[in-house]
A and B are shown apart, each in its own frame.
Chain A
Amino acid sequence: MSTIEQEQMAGASKRRRWTRAILPTYSWLVIAYLVFPIIVMIVYSFNKVVGGMQLVSFTWNGFTTQWYREWSNVPGLTQAFWLSIRLAIVATIISTVLGTLLAIALVRYRPPQFRGKMLFEQTIFLNIAAPEIVMGASLLGLFVTLNIARGFLTLVLAHVMFSVTYVVVTVRARLAGFDRSLEEAAYDLGARPLVTFGRVTLPLIMPGVLAGALMAFALSIDDFITSNFLSGAAAPFPVWVYGATRVGIPPQVFVFGTAIFAVGIAFAIMSIVMSRRHAE
């Protein structure tokens, strides 16, 4: 056996040790680290409470399903949760429609036809990259200057503002491989632009639009920093929970957290299974 071959074999076994043992172990440790707090949350949603105040404690007092049975017993929390859901739905619908239209414009048209395209590109980039606290603070400055009362409306305005660019980016990525001859075929068969859009274009880009909508929904329902500046009396779920950290957290917070987690994971697994079936 030549020395080169020996070296190659030594290299190969070293490689195998890395890829078969060290990297997988490490990766599973990272995954454990990511999942660990979620398990803590789920476990503590079943924790008994001792003492008069119904607040979560750091110590383990025994198993109970009381908080699941009494999930709606904290009025402010339940209201905040439904407010977040309504807000996310409204913001998702608006930002999905606006974002899809802008994505189509940006994919299809170039400067001689579409002047100011670069301006849009730069605004989108800046919107994604800018720190959220600056956007929230500046919007608060605007509403205070214009004397606009804070509430559901200002929350919708803000949530659409920061999620619309993510919709644009998501939809545009799926639009890139779009076969335009299908639209031309529809035109040749006498379909008008709107009919073509509704019957040909939209169904074809639907997966991208749905992905954008999911992104917008996730961003909206989890937003804290901007919402905290703009909510006023109407506090969405994350803002309410944050406010509660100062006085004590009712165990129902973890119940809601666990429920949101379960629904989100169910959606994600469903989409993975569906995409796998699609691929097969």
Chain B
Amino acid sequence: MEQLVPADHPGGVVVRRRRHRFGRAVAPYLLSLPAGLWLLLLFLVPLAVMLSLSLKTCNPATGACTMTWHWAEFPNEISLYHQEFITSLLFAGGATLADLVISFPIAYWIAFHGRHRKNFFLLMLLVPFFVSFVIRTIVWEFVLSNNGVFLTTLKNLHVLPSGFHILGTSWAVMAGLAYNYLPFTALPIYVAIERIDRRVLEAAYDLYATRRQGFMRVIFPLTIPGIFAAFLLTFIPMFGDYVNQEILGGTSNTMIGTVIQNQFLVNFDYAGGASLSAILLVIALLGIFLYARLLGTRTIEQYL
């Protein structure tokens, strides 16, 4: 009907305007409703359910849980598993640090000297992502294993002593973590370096800054947001990771992720698992909150 009314007809214009205005008023809500509901019901509500579940007491035999406001569960779990939390912090911290140190020079080189081959080098940085995460970790098990081709060869060449082993140690877990999450560190740092306005650097050199001063006083400070983003994207997932520990770490040095997974999927202790996840979330939230305070929530997307 509407199209039949000529545009200069007064009535037609009014009808169109009103529909337009109403449409504008509801549009943002209509557009955001489906994704918003999905995130509310399957992300925020479950977090709340998990918190309430951690205050419940469950019957291990039937799986039925009743609310008992069992706040003592948290200190209990912490005293039981504080070692696993500390191990996770150390492993994730060590591997994140290793990733930052490994990826800064290569990110710098690609950003400043990659020229027309930038895309190729970025693809090379992302190459591990084209192989399934679990398979990547299994291959590391191959590489690091005692009777694998690599350690055997090195031992035959007397590069390594014959008693040397790495699989099952904390070093193997950290090596696996560092490998698996390296692209998550390298990319944000690359983006940060790439964004630096070259004229700022030239200005520094024009003012007789040495090479080192140019790096320490111009390049490095400008990449700090990227380093923070890298830290968030690397450290937090590593902290909850259990695949590397299960496959590469053997039975020693259990990380908290392994405990949570076992509580849920092996022991069916949902209340215990939920309270451990809640503690893990609180520790992660502290880091996330600090990040958001320092840099704001929008920055994370600039580095993805």
Contacts and interface: CB of A to CB of B under 8 A. Distances in A.
Interface string B48-73: 01100100000000010100000000
B46 A141 contact: yes
A127 B288 CA distance: 11
Contacts of A140: 264, 270
Contacts of B221: none
B281 A130 contact: yes
A52 B224 CA distance: 56
A123 B34 CA distance: 14
B236 to A, nearest CB: 5
A225 B237 CA distance: 10
Interface in B100-117: 102-103, 105-106, 108-110, 112-113
A133 B293 CA distance: 24
Chain B interface main SS type: helix
A60 B43 contact: no
A221 B131 CA distance: 10
Nearest to B299: A125
Contact of A138 (B27, B40, B127, B277): B277
B182 interface: yes
Interface residues of A, number: 98
Interface in A174-226: 190, 193, 218, 221-222, 224-225
Nearest to B50: A138
B24 A113 contact: yes
B99 to A, nearest CB: 11
B81 interface: no
B121 A31 contact: yes
B209 to A, nearest CB: 11
A132 B240 contact: yes
B3 A190 contact: yes
B51 to A, nearest CB: 9
Given A126-B288, A131-B281, A218 B129 contact: yes
A162 to B, nearest CB: 8
Contacts of B265: 228-229
Given A141-B274, A238-B133, A224 B243 contact: yes
Interface of A: 11, 14-15, 19, 23-24, 26-27, 30-31, 33-38, 40-41, 44, 58-60, 97-99, 101-102, 104-106, 108-109, 113-114, 117, 120-135, 137-142, 144-145, 157-158, 160-161, 164-166, 168-170, 172-173, 190, 193, 218, 221-222, 224-225, 228-229, 237-238, 241-242, 245, 249, 253-254, 257, 260-261, 264-265, 268-269, 272, 275-276
